[in-house]
Structure 1
Amino acid sequence: MLVGHLAAARPGPVTGIRTYPAQSDGGTTAASHADPSFEQLLAQARLKFSHHAEQRLQQRGIKFQPEQIDRIASALDQAEAKGAKDSLVLFRDIAMIVNVPNRTVVTAMDGSSMREHVFTQIDSAVVVS
C-alpha cells in the first residue's frame, strides 16, 4: 500500500481544513476583540489539516497540544526556507505528509500504521524534536 501519494490539486472550494493560528502574546487591544476576516485567519494560520488528515487523526486517536503545533509549524518554516514543497514530517511516533507552501497536513498516521509503508511524492523529510 502506498501512503503519502499526492495528487495534483483540483480547482474547487476549500472545505474541511482546520487552521491553527500562531500563539498570541497575550496582549489585548481594541483591534484584537474584533472578529478577523477569513483572509486574515488564513494568513495567520501556521498549520492546517485537510479533512482527510483530521479523519485519520481522529481514527487513530492522535491529538496535538498547541505547543506541539507550534513546534511542527516552526519545523515547517525551516523546511520552507530550504525550498521544500511536500514533506514527510516525523513527530514522535506520528508521520504526516505536509504540503509546505500551503502549510496543510494532507494525511497522518501513528507508528503502528506506518510500518512497512512507502512514502512517495515527497521532496524532503523533517524530524521534529
Structure 2
Amino acid sequence: MHRFGIQRVPLQPTIQSNSQLKSKTIARTEQSFRDHLRSAATDSQELKISKHANERIQERNIHISDQEWQVVTDKVFEARSKGVNQPLVLMDQAALIVSAKNATVITAMERTEAKNQLFTNIDGTIVL
C-alpha cells in the first residue's frame, strides 16, 4: 500500500482588518504614482526629428540654432498642454509641421516655400 505523510499546519490565521489592507494598498499606489511622477519629471522634453523631416531640412539647407530649437520645443510642449496635437510652427527661416502628441517634427520647409502652401490636418499655429 501507499504511505501518506501528514504534516500539521498551525491554525493561527493572520487576520488583517480592512483599514490595514487599505493602508497597504494606498501605500503601494502612492509609491507607484511617486515613481511614475519622478520618471516623468526626469524625462527631458525634447523634440525628435523624423527621417522625412531630417531629409527635408538637409535638402533645403535649413539651419536652426540650438537656442531656436529650444524655443520651438518649449512652445510645442506648451501647445500640447493646451490640447494642440499637430501645430504648424512658423519661424523666420522655416515652417515645421510637428506632432505634439509624439513630440516629433514631421516635415520642414523654407519659409518662402511655405507662402504658396496649403496646410491641412493642423489644429494650431505657433508663430515665432
* Bucket of the pairwise TM-score, normalised by the shorter protein: 0.5 to 0.7
Amino acid corresponding to residue 112 of structure 2 in structure 1: S
Task: Supply the AA of the counterpart residue of 1:53.
Answer: A
Gaps of 5+ in 2: 1-42
What's the offset of the Cα at 1:101? 1.3
Indicate the residue corresponding to 1:4 in structure 2. Answer: none
TM-score by length of 2: 0.63
Secondary structure of the equivalent of 2:98? Answer: strand
**Distance across 1 between alignment mates of 2:76 and 2:50:** 16
- Give the 5 Å matches for 1:70-109: 70-109=70-109
Which amino acid in structure 1 is aligned with residue 95 of structure 2?
A
Q: What RMSD over aligned residues (CA atoms) do the two structures have, in Å?
A: 1.6
Q: Secondary structure at the match of 2:68?
A: helix
Higher RCO (CA 8 Å, separation ≥ 6 residues) = 1
Percent of counterpart pairs with the same letter?
A: 34
- The residue type equivalent to 1:120 in the other structure is T
Matched residue, 1:110: 110
| TM-score, with length taken from structure 1 | 0.63
What's the offset of the Cα at 1:45?
4.8
| Structure 1 unaligned blocks of 5 or more | 1-42
Aligned residues: 87
SS at match of 2:46: strand
Structure with greater Cα Rg: 2
> After TM superposition, where is structure 1 displaced by more than 2 Å over at least 4 residues in a row?
none
